[in-house]
Amino acid sequence: MENLEKPVQRDSNKIYFLIAVIIALLGTNTYLFLKDKQSDKRIVSISDEKTRMETEIDKIEAELDNATNTNIQLTEEMKAEQERARQQIDRLRAALSKGQLTQTQLLKAQEEIKQLKNLVARYSSEIDVLKNLNANLTIERNELKTAVDSVSYKASDLEKQNEELSNKVRVASLLKIGNVSILAINVKNNGKESAASRSNSTDKLRINFSIVQNPLAQKGTHNIYLRVIDPSGNLIVSKNNGTFNSEDEELQYTYKTAIEFNNDGKSYSIDWSNTGDFQKGNYTVLLYSDSYSMGKGSISLR
């Protein structure tokens, strides 16, 4: 009987050992399964966080672009900030585009995104300050331009008034003929002169005139220009085809001389000798001084 009990006891021990091994294996498999499941969840969680961070970077870059796309003149410091922000965006995109991130890398990326948001926020705030400054400068410039335009208009108006006044003074100071008479003169061989009435006996015309007293007229020497119109209506021009300006118009003259004006009522006499023969008919003599007409006279020759 004793010999039969010992084998049974040894078989029982083996069974217990096998059961213990199976339980250990089941425990190990269960642990590995749960660990793999948790790892899968962590990978999914990290992947979701990468997607969220990429979306955040897109928003930050869009905000940077929006702040940069203005007509604002950036300072060198602002240009450097913009460049730093874009370099950091490129580094983050490169890091996130790689394979799986470790928890440490993920935390580092999250911190860099936080710093990037602060950098772009400060940059955007500086842009807003510049915009407001530019807007104020534009208002001040427009106000200054309006003031300058107003002053320019007033100055132009004053200049126009001064010019009109100067023209009135100039016109008021012109020499004007009071009385004029034209005589036909015959010059004999011995030099004696006598009045003539016929064209064939006329050697020259004598223009006698007085000048109206004018306290505004400038005293001193004044050039006098004669324009003689013959009976055919043609201007008799000087030998040298001389010209003068009258009211911004260039005119040819027949004869040029000068008088001394002292505003004393003095009478003047100018002799003009025709280089050709006198014709029958009416001669008109126009007198000019200081670029303006003084008056005119005429004579008829038989």
Residue 99 predicted with pLDDT over 50: yes
Q: How many CB atoms lie within 10 A of CB 51?
A: 11
Q: Per mean pLDDT, which of 107-116, 121-130, 139-148 is the most reliable? A: 139-148
Phi, psi of 82 (to 5 degrees): -60, -45
The pLDDT-based confidence of 217 (bands split at 50, 70, 90) is: confident
Q: Choose among 266, 268, 244: nearest CA to 255.
A: 244
The pLDDT-based confidence of 122 (bands split at 50, 70, 90) is: confident
Higher-scoring residue by pLDDT: 225, 57:
225
At 1 the pLDDT is: 43
Distance from first CA to last CA of the chain, Å, rounded? 195
Higher-scoring residue by pLDDT: 58, 232:
232
Q: How many structural domains comprise the chain?
A: 2
> Is residue 93 in a domain?
yes
At 18 the pLDDT is: 67
CA distances (Å), origin 211, targets 8, 32, 62, 82, 290 = 169, 133, 88, 85, 14
Residue 296 predicted with pLDDT over 80: yes
Q: Which amino acid is at 179?
A: N
Summarize the confidence of residues 213-239 as an average pLDDT: 92
Q: Choose among 192, 178, 177, 264: nearest CA to 226.
A: 177
The pLDDT-based confidence of 201 (bands split at 50, 70, 90) is: very high
Residue 109 predicted with pLDDT over 90: no
Whether 118 and 208 share a structural domain: no
Whether 183 and 267 share a structural domain: yes
Averaged pLDDT of the chain: 79
Q: Which of 118, 133, 148 is the last residue of a domain?
A: 133
Compute the distance between CA of residue 108 and CA of residue 116 in angstroms, rounded to an integer. Answer: 12
Q: How many helices (H) and strands (E) does the chain have?
A: 3, 11
The pLDDT-based confidence of 40 (bands split at 50, 70, 90) is: very low
Phi, psi of 293 (to 5 degrees): -70, 135
> Is residue 160 in a domain?
no
Compute the distance between CA of residue 17 and CA of residue 26 in angstroms, rounded to an integer. Answer: 14
Residue 51 predicted with pLDDT over 90: no
> Is residue 218 in a domain?
yes
Higher-scoring residue by pLDDT: 213, 53:
213
At 43 the pLDDT is: 43
Whether 284 and 224 share a structural domain: yes
Residue 230 predicted with pLDDT over 60: yes
Whether 196 and 296 share a structural domain: yes
> Is residue 275 in a domain?
yes
Residue 185 predicted with pLDDT over 90: yes
> Is residue 201 in a domain?
yes
Compute the distance between CA of residue 264 and CA of residue 219 in angstroms, rounded to an integer. Answer: 10
Q: Which of 74, 100, 133 is the last residue of a domain?
A: 133
3-state secondary structure of 124: helix
Residue 280 predicted with pLDDT over 70: yes
- Domain boundaries, position 20: 2-133
Q: With a threshold of 0.85, does the pTM exceed it?
A: no
> Is residue 149 in a domain?
no
Residue 132 predicted with pLDDT over 60: yes
* CATH number of the domain where residue 212 is located: 2.60.40
> Is residue 170 in a domain?
no
Whether 74 and 186 share a structural domain: no
Long-range contacts of residues 63-71, Cβ cutoff 8 Å, at least 24 apart: 63/120, 63/124, 64/89, 64/120, 64/123, 64/124, 67/120, 67/123, 67/124, 67/127, 68/127, 70/127, 70/131
Whether 128 and 7 share a structural domain: yes
Q: Which of 133, 160, 194 is the last residue of a domain?
A: 133
Summarize the confidence of residues 193-221 as an average pLDDT: 92
Residue 222 predicted with pLDDT over 80: yes
At 167 the pLDDT is: 66
Q: How many CB atoms lie within 10 A of CB 142?
A: 10
User: pLDDT tens across 245-279, in order?
Assistant: 988 899 999 999 999 999 988 899 999 999 889 99
At 42 the pLDDT is: 47
Residue 57 predicted with pLDDT over 70: yes
Whether 114 and 187 share a structural domain: no
Q: Choose among 54, 154, 50: nearest CA to 102.
A: 50
> Is residue 163 in a domain?
no
Whether 108 and 197 share a structural domain: no
